[in-house]
Structure 1
Amino acid sequence: MGYTWWIVILFLALAEAQVSKSVYKLSIVCEKEGRLVEALDRYIRSSLANKSHVDEQIQSFHENTKEKRPRNNDTTEWVGHPINAFHLVERAANGWQKVKKRINCSDCDLTTANQDFLSIWNEVVEVDGIWARGQDVNISAYALWRLHVTYNLDIKVLMSGTILNRTTFPLSVTDVISIGNYLDTEDQIEWFEEFLELADVTEKDSISYKLAMAYYMADFSWKSLAILTELQKTGSMPVERMIKVVRQKAEKFGKDRPMKRMKSPKLYIAKVDEKLCQGNIQSDPATPDLHCYNKKTRIPYYTVKEEVLSNVPRISRFHDVISDTEISLLQDISKHKLVPSTTIRKDNSRAQHDGRISESAWISPSKNVSKKLEQRIELLTGLDTIFRVTTVTSEDMQVVNYGLGGFYVRHFDAIYIGKQGSRDSMKKAYGDRIATWMFYLSTVEEGGATIFPKLNLRVVPLKGSAIFWYNLLPNGDLDIRSQHASCPVLLGSKWIATKWILEHSQVFRKPCKIHSMEEHY
Structure 2
Amino acid sequence: MKFVAETCILRSILSLLLPLLVVLLENHYVEADVYNSASQLASVLRLEKRLVELAQELHSDEPNEELNRFLADSHPIQTFGGSIVSPLDAYHMLRRLTSDFEPVRTALLAARQPDIEGNVTEVLSSPLFPNTTDLNESAFALVRLQDIYDLSTSDLQRGRIRGHRSPWTLSGDDCARLSQQSLSHMEFELAEVWNKAAQQLIHEQQRRVELERKLNSIRATRELVLQLARRQPDQFISKFAGSGIPLGFLGRVVEDADPTDSVAMQDIERRYKRLCRGEALLSPAVTSRFHCAYKRSSDPFFRLRPLKTELLWPDPLIVRFYDVTSPRQRGRLSRLAGPRLVTSKVTGRPGESGRSTQGRVGKMAFLPRGSDPLVGQFHRLVEAFTGLSSETAEDLQVVNYGVGGHYEPHVDFYGSYEIGDFSYPRDRLATFLFYLNSVGAGGATVFPLLGVAAPPVPGSALFWFNLRRSGLADSRTVHASCPVLLGAKSIANFWLHESGQEFRHRCGTSEDE
The one-letter code of the counterpart of 1:274 is K
Equivalence for 1:319: 322
Equivalence for 1:118: 117
Using the aligned pairs only, state the percent identity. Answer: 29
CA contact (8 A) 1:184 1:264 kept: no
> How many Å apart are 1:70 and its aligned residue?
2.4
**Which of 75, 80, 83 is residue 85 of structure 2 equivalent to?**
80
Residue 381, structure 1, aligned to residue 378, structure 2? no
Equivalence for 1:513: 508
Residue 445, structure 1, aligned to residue 440, structure 2? yes
CA distance, structure 1, for counterparts of residue 329 and residue 426 of structure 2: 29
> How many Å apart are 1:433 and its aligned residue?
1.0
Equivalence for 2:252: none
**Which of 358, 361, 370 is residue 357 of structure 1 equivalent to?**
361
CA contact (8 A) 2:337 2:398 kept: yes
CA contact (8 A) 2:35 2:137 kept: yes
Equivalence for 1:237: none
CA contact (8 A) 2:173 2:198 kept: no
Gap change, CA 1:189 and 1:210, over 3 Å in 2: farther
The one-letter code of the counterpart of 1:90 is R
CA distance, structure 1, for counterparts of residue 59 and residue 446 of structure 2: 51
Equivalence for 2:246: 268
CA distance, structure 2, for counterparts of residue 20 and residue 165 of structure 1: 23
Equivalence for 2:158: 160
Residue 398, structure 1, aligned to residue 397, structure 2? yes
CA distance, structure 1, for counterparts of residue 164 and residue 431 of structure 2: 34
Equivalence for 2:57: 42
Equivalence for 1:181: 180
Equivalence for 1:289: 289
**Which of 336, 340, 344 is residue 333 of structure 1 equivalent to?**
336
The one-letter code of the counterpart of 2:368 is S
Gap change, CA 1:406 and 1:220, over 3 Å in 2: closer
- The one-character-per-residue Cα deviations of 1:5-28 (angstroms, maximum 9, x if unpaired) are xxxxxxxxxx96510111111111
* TM-score normalised by length of structure 1: 0.78
- The one-character-per-residue Cα deviations of 1:95-136 (angstroms, maximum 9, x if unpaired) are 2343213444xxx6x722xx3333112322314x01211111
Gap change, CA 1:220 and 1:377, over 3 Å in 2: closer
Which aligned runs of 4 or more in structure 1 are off by greater than 6 angstroms?
197-200
> How many Å apart are 1:168 and its aligned residue?
1.1
Gap change, CA 1:401 and 1:195, over 3 Å in 2: same
Give the match's secondary structure for 1:138: helix
Residue 69, structure 1, aligned to residue 76, structure 2? yes
CA distance, structure 2, for counterparts of residue 358 and residue 423 of structure 1: 30
- The one-character-per-residue Cα deviations of 1:132-155 (angstroms, maximum 9, x if unpaired) are 111111210110011111111111
Point out where structure 2 has 5 or more consecutive residues left out of the alignment.
1-29, 224-240, 248-268
CA contact (8 A) 2:445 2:482 kept: yes
Gap change, CA 1:184 and 1:194, over 3 Å in 2: closer
Residue 424, structure 1, aligned to residue 421, structure 2? yes
CA distance, structure 2, for counterparts of residue 447 and residue 208 of structure 1: 38
Point out where structure 1 has 5 or more consecutive residues left out of the alignment.
1-14, 49-53, 224-262, 386-391
Equivalence for 1:249: none
Residue 25, structure 1, aligned to residue 25, structure 2? no
The one-letter code of the counterpart of 1:209 is E
> How many Å apart are 1:61 and its aligned residue?
1.5
Alignment map for 1:116-155 (pairs within 5 Å):
116-127=115-126, 129-155=127-153
Give the match's secondary structure for 2:508: coil
> How many Å apart are 1:181 and its aligned residue?
3.0
The one-letter code of the counterpart of 1:330 is L
* TM-score normalised by length of structure 2: 0.79
CA distance, structure 2, for counterparts of residue 194 and residue 213 of structure 1: 11
- Which has the larger displacement, 329-338 or 15-24? 15-24
Give the match's secondary structure for 1:95: coil
CA contact (8 A) 2:188 2:218 kept: no
CA contact (8 A) 1:442 1:494 kept: yes
Alignment map for 1:166-205 (pairs within 5 Å):
166-169=164-167, 170-184=169-183, 187=187, 190-193=190-193, 196=196, 201=201, 203=203
Give the match's secondary structure for 1:174: helix
CA distance, structure 2, for counterparts of residue 204 and residue 452 of structure 1: 47
Gap change, CA 1:16 and 1:279, over 3 Å in 2: closer
> How many Å apart are 1:448 and its aligned residue?
0.8
**Which of 460, 469, 478 is residue 474 of structure 1 equivalent to?**
469
Gap change, CA 1:399 and 1:283, over 3 Å in 2: same
How many residue pairs match? The answer is 438
CA contact (8 A) 2:412 2:428 kept: yes
CA distance, structure 2, for counterparts of residue 383 and residue 264 of structure 1: 30
Give the match's secondary structure for 1:517: coil
- The one-character-per-residue Cα deviations of 1:68-119 (angstroms, maximum 9, x if unpaired) are 2327x75835x22010010011112222343213444xxx6x722xx33331
> How many Å apart are 1:451 and its aligned residue?
0.7
Gap change, CA 1:423 and 1:57, over 3 Å in 2: farther
Equivalence for 1:10: none
Equivalence for 1:372: 377
CA-atom RMSD, angstroms?
Answer: 2.8
Gap change, CA 1:437 and 1:207, over 3 Å in 2: farther
**Which of 299, 309, 312 is residue 309 of structure 1 equivalent to?**
312
> How many Å apart are 1:32 and its aligned residue?
1.1
Gap change, CA 1:275 and 1:338, over 3 Å in 2: same
The one-letter code of the counterpart of 2:190 is E
Equivalence for 1:216: 217
Residue 95, structure 1, aligned to residue 100, structure 2? yes
Gap change, CA 1:162 and 1:508, over 3 Å in 2: same
CA contact (8 A) 1:399 1:497 kept: yes
Gap change, CA 1:198 and 1:30, over 3 Å in 2: closer
